[in-house]
A and B are shown apart, each in its own frame.
Chain A
Amino acid sequence: MIFLFFLILAILLEATLTSIPIVLDLLLVFFILKRKSRMLVYAFVSGMVLDIFRVRALGLTGIFFIVFILLVFLYEKKFEIVTYPFVFFASFLGGIGYLYLFSYGYVLEQALGGSIIAILMFKGLSGSNIGIQNSKVKIQKYLPADATHQALQAGK
C-alpha cells in the first residue's frame, strides 16, 4: 500500500511538474528493497500512465522501465545491489537513458538530481519500517556480496 501511494504520487509529480525520472528511481529503489517480480507489472502500468500524460506513443515508457528492471535483476545475480553506490549509479545511468530517449534538456543535471532523490528514498525507506517491513533484504554495508547472498538465503 505504501509503495502504491508513493508510486501514484511520483507518477502525478512526473506527469505534471517535473521531468526528473522520479518514477524510475522509485521503481529501482523498491525493486532493490523488495525484489519482487510484480515490480515489473507496476513498471509496465506506470509507464503506460506516464505515456498518456506526456503524449507519447503508448508502451514506450513501459518498455524502458521493464528493461531497466531486468538489467538490475541480472546485475543482482552477480553483484551486491543493496548498496548506496549501486543505487546512485543505477539511477544515474537509468536517468540519462530515460532523459536522452525522451529528448529532455539538462540531461546530466536532471539525472544527477534523480540519483540524489533515489539515494534519499533508499535511505528513508530502508531505514524505516515501511520500506522493508516484509522484505527479506537488509542493507549490507560492510559484508561482501557472498555474505549478503548467504544472509538472503538464511532469510528465505
Chain B
Amino acid sequence: MRRKERFLFIFFILLFLAIIILTLSLGGLLKSPSSILEKLATPIGIKVYSIFQNLPFVSESEEKTKLKDKNLDFLVDFSEIQRLKKENAALKDQFQTTKPKSYDLLPAKIVGHAFGFVVDKGERDGVKEGQVAVFKNNLVGKVRKASSNLSKVELIFNSSSFTAKTMTKGVSGIVKGDGRKITIDNVLASDKIEVGEIIVTKGDMNLEGIGYPPDLIVGKIVSIDKNPSSLFQKAKLESFVDFNNLDMVFILKI
C-alpha cells in the first residue's frame, strides 16, 4: 500500500508540474528558458546526427554522392535556362514582364530527422512558419513550427499541398504528399504529361512572402495514372533530393 501511495504521490506532483510547464509553454511564457535549453541541445543534435550520417551502412559512397550532387547542379542549370527562356519570351512580347525576385537563403543545419527535419535556425534568425526549405533549387519542405532557435520542416511528401506545373509546357496541377509518396493531381485529362518531365512550383505566396515561390523543382514524373472516364489525370513524382543524406537545407526568406 505504501508503495502505491508513494507512486501516486510522485505521479501527481510530476503531472501537476508538467501541466504547468505545458500551459506556460503554450502561452509563450517559457521562451527564454526553452531558448537556453535549445541552444544547449542544438550542438549535441548536430554532432549526433553527423555521427550517424557518417556510419558506413547509413551514408552512401562518396562517388555516388558526388554524382548525385552533379546531377542536381545540372538540374539547377537546366531550370535556370528554362526560366530565362520564358523571361526572354515575355520581355520580347512586352505584354508581361517577369521580374525575378531575389531571395535570401538562410543555411540551416539539420539537427534531427524523423518525418521532417529539425533545423538549427529559428525565430531569432528570422524563420517564420510557412517559409520553404530548399536544397539546390529543389523544394525540400515547409517550416511547420519555429521556436526561438530551432524549426521543424515538414517534408514535401508528408502532407503538403500546393500548385505546380511542368517545367517545359506549363501544364498545371496540385502536388500532394500523403506521407509516403508525392503525386501531382488535378491535371486536366486533355493536357499532355510525360514520364520524366520535371515538375516545378507554380507559386503560392501570400503578401507577406510566406509560401511556395515559383520555379522550385519538386521532382520528376515517374508514372502516370490516366483514366479515360475521368476529367483529371494524376502522376507519381520522385524528388531529386536524397532526404536521408542531407545534412543542411536553406530556408528561403524574401
Q: Report B-chain residues with C-beta under 8 Å of the C-beta of A19.
A: 114-115
Q: Number of residues in B with C-beta < 8 Å to the partner? A: 42
Complex contact B111–A58 (CB within 8 A): no
Q: How far apart sit A38 and B180, CA to CA, in the bound complex (Å)?
A: 39
Q: How far apart sit A67 and B17, CA to CA, in the bound complex (Å)?
A: 13
Q: Report B-chain residues with C-beta under 8 Å of the C-beta of A54.
A: 112, 118, 152
Q: How far apart sit A69 and B41, CA to CA, in the bound complex (Å)?
A: 26
Complex contact B14–A55 (CB within 8 A): no
Interface string of A47-74 (1 = CB under 8 A from B): 1110011110111101100110110010
- The secondary-structure label for the interface of chain A is helix
Complex contact A12–B44 (CB within 8 A): yes
A58-B114 contact given A12-B48, A41-B10, A66-B18, CB 8 Å threshold? no
Q: How far apart sit A18 and B21, CA to CA, in the bound complex (Å)?
A: 26
B190 to chain A minimum Cβ distance, whole angstroms, is: 34
Q: Report B-chain residues with C-beta under 8 Å of the C-beta of A40.
A: 7, 10-11, 14
Q: Which residue of A lies closest to B112 (CB)?
A: A16
Q: Report A-chain residues with C-beta under 8 Å of the C-beta of B231.
A: none
Complex contact B19–A57 (CB within 8 A): no
Q: How far apart sit A36 and B34, CA to CA, in the bound complex (Å)?
A: 29
Q: How far apart sit A40 and B38, CA to CA, in the bound complex (Å)?
A: 23
Interface string of B126-158 (1 = CB under 8 A from A): 000000000000000000011100111000001
Question: Considering the complex of A and B, which 9 residue pairs feature the smallest CB-CB distances, nearest first?
Answer: A59-B22, A19-B114, A105-B179, A59-B21, A58-B25, A59-B18, A55-B152, A16-B112, A62-B18
Q: Which B residues have a C-beta under 8 Å from some C-beta of A?
A: 3-4, 6-7, 10-11, 14-15, 17-22, 24-26, 30, 34, 37-38, 41, 44-45, 48-49, 52, 111-115, 118, 145-147, 150-152, 158, 179-180
A and B contact pairs by CB, cutoff 8 A, 6 listed: A15-B48, A17-B52, A40-B10, A66-B11, A66-B15, A70-B11
